[in-house]
Amino acid sequence: MKSQQELFDLFLRELKKEQEKIDNASPGGLYKPVSYTLDMGGKRLRPLLVLLSTNLFSEKVEEALPAAIAIEVFHNFTLLHDDLMDNASVRRGKPTVHLKFNPNAAILSGDAMMILANEYLANSPAEKLPGLLKLFSRTALEVCEGQQYDMDFESRMDVTVDEYIEMIRMKTAVLIAGALKLGAIIGNAPENQANLLYDFGINIGLAFQLQDDWLDVYGDQNIFGKKIGGDILSNKKTFLLLKAQEKLQGERKTQLRSWITRETFLPEEKIEAVTLLYNNASVSEEAQQLMHYYHEEALKCLAKLEVEDANKKNLIELADQVMSRIS
């Protein structure tokens, strides 16, 4: 079995080859934003999960490279359009695509990335394609559904924590879970084993998004790679906000509602005031407790996986990294 670093390097070599093709593609106005997006970097977590999952059941990890590229391109497509919809200014420490180029370029180049992702996936082993395409399409649609719920929640004052969890399951967790199951299918894993990896991914994905929401408030902007407080400014219904609404009473509850409904404000003032209200409600601690719950549920799924414990090490390490990440 290959090490995590060997798989990561294998993916990066393949991605570099594909980026060189994109760099030389015409028209440049369509493909330069695509190349810029892929060149921003990131952890490359999802494609690595594809390869790790395949390698649990097969030594032919090269067969999973098209799916790994597809997942990475699709993931970056979602970030590109997400930044445009949120009017975000920074992604991974760099100007977002709609600011670097223009909003129309962000829309069209994002569309091209979705199409490219499907083209890459189609290069997977032919006998596996029906299952891969069905899973990939279902996953992509759920991500879009999750994004729509996220936007719908911004104008609602009655969103529940359960609704939030279901939203982040679709918006974030299914792509991590889908990456793992794609790899398992390519590696010829039994269906029950592929489903265990999918469930592992769902739980890790939920922990990951909870951590991401927490970092948006409590992270270091220089490390996090995007401006702190973006969720507060856009009134995103994160676990932190929903729990604060639930726990705060009296004047503090009124203050929080006022900040959510206010149309004009100084951004830094709103971020500081809402963060203080979060602190008063101790929601940071509750968010971290919920992260740990999903982390433990993920490890339970791995424990049931019928592969040697030594081969589970990479996935256990990745699960632990989610819990300790600061960016």
For residue 227, pLDDT over 80 is answered with no
Single out the residue of 175, 181, 170, 173 nearest to residue 131, CA to CA: 181
**Mean pLDDT value across residues 243-264:** 94
By residue count, the chain amounts to 327
For residue 225, pLDDT over 60 is answered with no
Single out the residue of 80, 84, 7 nearest to residue 38, CA to CA: 80
Query: Token digits for 255?
Result: 């203050």
User: Hey, what amino acid is at 208?
Assistant: F
**Mean pLDDT value across residues 229-258:** 94
For residue 247, pLDDT over 90 is answered with yes
Going from the N-terminus, what domains does the chain have, and what CATH number goes with each?
Answer: 4-324 (1.10.600.10)
Contacts of 239 (CB under 8 A, 6+ apart): 161, 164, 210, 213, 283, 286, 287, 290
For residue 179, pLDDT over 70 is answered with yes
**Mean pLDDT value across residues 162-189:** 97
Global pTM exceeds 0.85: yes
Q: How far is 204 from 175, CA to CA, in rounded Å? A: 11
Please identify which residue in the block is written with the tokens 């279902």: 138
Contacts of 83 (CB under 8 A, 6+ apart): 91, 96, 97, 98, 106
* Mean of all residue pLDDT scores within the chain: 93
For residue 317, pLDDT over 90 is answered with no
Q: Which tops the pLDDT comparison, 92 or 297? A: 297
For residue 255, pLDDT over 60 is answered with yes
Query: Token digits for 260?
Result: 């959510």
The CA–CA distances, whole Å, from 87 to 9, 99, 171, 192, 220 equal 33, 9, 18, 41, 21
